[in-house]
């Protein structure tokens, strides 16, 4: 954790030589460990944990083209939300362990031949968080993973399209009915001309009821985007 913050602090200065030297020093002070089990390892993911993730990995696409309640035509995800990946995503989201994004994304990088069909999309839009939340955290945690996945499938992340205009309670703290109400009318779309006629993937970490991504998609449709051009991508599906 400390290591992650130091590296990111230094990266802010964009001096390559300084970063390399500092990374070496940091690695001496904080030796490399597996970010999942915490045991000493030369890479951030040890073989044992990698094998566990291998077993859990199951890239799938759910078709919603005929489902009129959904404002998108399909949902892609890499894992079912359970066991190890559930644990990891919970730590990543709620225990301020942002460095886990690196472990998950480098695992996915080795799996990319499984999800080649994501390349039919043109851009990724990340589910936005409120300005207040972003200020508290300093970053949008979904953005960290999305950025790496965008690199893997060579898609561009389009920013400044969706905005969260209201602060809401975390979806995870609410029941099914409350979740639907909680996200209603909380997003706003701007700069829509930038994404007209493009195939759009809306990205979030976890899909539970799908209310959040559904509301984001609805906001895009109301701004003039064709439903047939909208798909969803999440790391896991509950
Ligand atoms: Zn491990």
> pLDDT band at residue 72, thresholds of 50, 70 and 90?
very high
Query: If we measure between CA atoms, which residue out of 121, 113, 118, 140 comes closest to residue 204?
Result: 140
Residue 132 in domain: yes
44 alpha carbon – ligand 1 mean position (Å): 8
Instruction: Tell if the pTM clears 0.75, that is, is over it.
Output: yes
Query: If we measure between CA atoms, which residue out of 142, 120, 121, 139 comes closest to residue 131?
Result: 139
Question: Taking 90 as the threshold, does the pLDDT of residue 203 lie above it?
Answer: yes
Residue entry with tokens 């390349």: 119
237 alpha carbon – ligand 1 mean position (Å): 23
CATH for 214: 3.40.50
What's the pLDDT score for residue 139?
75
200 alpha carbon – ligand 1 mean position (Å): 35
Conformational region of residue 192, where left means phi above 0, alpha means psi within -120 to 50, and beta covers everything else: alpha
Residue 221 in domain: yes
Range of the domain at 231: 51-237
Question: pLDDT digit string (tens) for 30-42?
Answer: 668 888 888 888 8
**Residue 230 pairs with which residues in a beta bridge?**
200
Residue 5 in domain: no
Mark the residues whose beta carbon lies below 5 A from ion ligand 1.
34, 36-37, 46, 49
Residue 138 in domain: yes
Residue 46 in domain: no
Residue 1 in domain: no
What's the pLDDT score for residue 14?
63
Cβ atoms of 221 and 62 closer than 8 Å: no
What's the pLDDT score for residue 8?
66
Q: Give me the mean pLDDT over the 136-145 stretch.
A: 82
53 alpha carbon – ligand 1 mean position (Å): 10
Count structural domains, the chain.
1
Residue 169 in domain: yes
Residue 158 in domain: yes
The mean pLDDT of the chain is 89
206 alpha carbon – ligand 1 mean position (Å): 23
Q: From residue 164, give the alpha-carbon distance in Å to each of 131, 150, 157, 204.
A: 8, 22, 17, 14
Q: From residue 169, give the alpha-carbon distance in Å to each of 52, 172, 178, 207.
A: 33, 8, 10, 17
């Amino acid at each position: 954790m400390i290591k992650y913050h130091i590296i990111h602090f230094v990266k802010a200065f964009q001096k390559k030589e300084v970063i390399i030297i500092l990374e070496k020093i940091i690695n001496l002070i904080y030796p490399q460990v597996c970010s999942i089990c915490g045991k000493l390892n030369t890479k951030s993911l040890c073989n044992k944990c990698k094998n566990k993730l291998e077993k859990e990995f199951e890239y799938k696409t759910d078709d919603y083209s005929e489902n009129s309640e959904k404002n998108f035509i399909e949902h892609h995800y890499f894992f079912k939300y359970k066991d190890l990946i559930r644990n990891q995503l919970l730590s990543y989201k709620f225990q301020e362990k942002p460095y886990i994004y690196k472990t998950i994304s480098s695992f996915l990088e080795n799996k990319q031949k499984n999800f080649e069909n994501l390349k039919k999309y043109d851009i990724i839009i990340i589910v936005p968080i409120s300005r207040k939340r972003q200020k508290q955290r300093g970053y949008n945690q979904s953005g960290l993973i999305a950025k790496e996945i965008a690199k893997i499938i060579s898609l561009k992340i389009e920013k400044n399209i969706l905005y969260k205009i209201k602060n809401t309670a975390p979806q995870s703290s609410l029941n099914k009915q409350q979740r639907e109400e909680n996200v209603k009318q909380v997003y706003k779309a701007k700069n829509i001309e930038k994404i007209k006629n493009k195939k759009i993937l809306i990205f979030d970490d976890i899909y539970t009821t799908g209310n959040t991504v559904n509301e984001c998609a609805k906001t895009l449709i109301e701004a003039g985007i064709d439903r047939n051009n909208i798909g969803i991508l999440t790391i896991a599906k509950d």
